[in-house]
Amino acid sequence: MTKPRRLLTLALISALLGAGATAGAVAGGAAASAPARAASLMLDFTPNAIHTGIYAAVARHLDAANGVALHVRIPGASTDAISLLAAGRVDFAILDIHDLAIADEQGRHLVGIMALEQRPLAAVIAQPRFTSPRQLDGRTIGVTGAPSDLAVLRSIVAGAGGRPRTLRTLTIGYDAVPDLLSGRVAAATAFWNDEGVQLTHLGAGHRPFRVFRVDRFGAPSYPELVLCATAQELRRSPGLARRVVRTLVEGYRFVLRHPLEGEHDLEAEVSGLAPHAVALQLAAELPAFLPRQGGAYGSLSPTVLAAWARWERRFGIVKRTPNVATMFDRSFLPG
């Protein structure tokens, strides 16, 4: 995104958020007198730009202002966030919406209570010579091995008029960038906000890789990452859930108004991040934090979720259509 376009985007987002931010500040102040209660939050992945609002909330003590002592936990290579959440070893977790659907089908009573962003992050990234996903017919495509990968791949190729059954897949794990740069695969499933940003900002001498986002080729514009808790925890401690949601909503609202300061908060809280990469990723993600049709940060649209549920079943991520009425609860979002 060029600097003028980025500034325009930030200005529009800031204007949209002005009234909501004021209301959030009042709510946070009102909760400040309540006793702080510890709450653990497991991330979906190692910290990156998508988590900026979480770390901004911690850095600026928005959790304390809302009566919460928020402890952010970073998953390891073998971490199973769903098992930890279901067992009560963490209070809240950021889950991929596909993992939430699979857990629900397995009988685990987990509930999504806030969207982290409003667009799918999944994409197929192709070598520069491929201008359409339909040109991938018969090619070797790298996949991570996650259950949703094949669904994303099939949806994108079919949505462009291609033939998904002709594709050959190669499991490469979460290492798409070197495999694409080496030419080992014609394309790979990856995230447009991470690998996609890396591969489109390689610098002089490199042709840009093609990033085909799943919601531009047949999938609905569903939220990829969702804040979740167990149904039991929500019944037992609804007030804590509301405080945590309000804390995160205020953190992301701050980032939407002040992205550069949000970047600095993330980099101050998490060591080892590359500031240039964080800046590029966050600039790409900012428009995805709010619904396209307008609405507040964190929204869970029943219409969008119903369309996602049908897509989820159609492309085989789950065997039955997810029941969005029981899998999601919007009552914990600020009014």
Last residue of a domain, one of 167, 201, 216: 216
Is the domain of 150 the same as that of 91? no
Question: CB-based contacts of 136: which residues, under 8 Å, 6+ apart?
Answer: 124, 126, 130, 157, 162, 167, 186, 187
CB 156 within 8 A of CB 182: no
Report the mean per-residue pLDDT for the chain: 90
Is the domain of 56 the same as that of 188? no
Is the domain of 244 the same as that of 101? yes
* Structural domain boundaries, residue 8: 3-118+223-332
Question: CB-based contacts of 184: which residues, under 8 Å, 6+ apart?
Answer: 142, 170, 172
Reduce the DSSP state of residue 26 to 3 states and report it: helix
Q: How confident is the model at residue 202 (pLDDT cuts 50, 70, 90)?
A: confident
Is the domain of 82 the same as that of 228? yes
- Report the C-alpha gap between 217 and 157 in whole angstroms: 8
Is the domain of 242 the same as that of 94? yes
Is the domain of 202 the same as that of 234? no
CB 239 within 8 A of CB 247: no
Is the domain of 326 the same as that of 278? yes
Is the domain of 32 the same as that of 88? yes
Is the domain of 114 the same as that of 227? yes
Strand 92-96 and strand 225-230: the pairing is antiparallel
pLDDT tens digit string along 164-190? 999 999 999 988 999 999 999 999 999
CB 49 within 8 A of CB 196: no
- Report the C-alpha gap between 302 and 322 in whole angstroms: 12
Q: What is the dihedral of CA 258, 26, 90, 229, to 10 degrees?
A: -100
| Residue with the two structure tokens 């018969």 | 138
pLDDT value at residue 8:
38
- Report the C-alpha gap between 248 and 260 in whole angstroms: 18
User: Bridge-partner residues for 168, per DSSP?
Assistant: 140
- Report the C-alpha gap between 311 and 218 in whole angstroms: 9
Is the domain of 7 the same as that of 99? yes
Is the pLDDT assigned to residue 4 strictly greater than 50?
Answer: no
Last residue of a domain, one of 161, 196, 216: 216
Question: CB-based contacts of 334: which residues, under 8 Å, 6+ apart?
Answer: 23, 24, 27, 245, 246, 249, 296, 298
* Cα 146 to Cα 51, 172, 232, 250, 281, distances in angstroms: 21, 11, 28, 32, 22
- Report the C-alpha gap between 143 and 322 in whole angstroms: 24
pLDDT tens digit string along 45-104? 999 999 999 999 999 999 999 999 999 999 997 789 999 999 999 999 999 999 999 999
pLDDT value at residue 203:
66
Last residue of a domain, one of 216, 251, 280: 216
- Tally of structural domains, the chain: 2
Is the domain of 106 the same as that of 233? yes
CATH number of the domain where residue 194 is located: 3.40.190.10
**The whole model's pTM is what?**
0.88
Is the domain of 12 the same as that of 99? yes
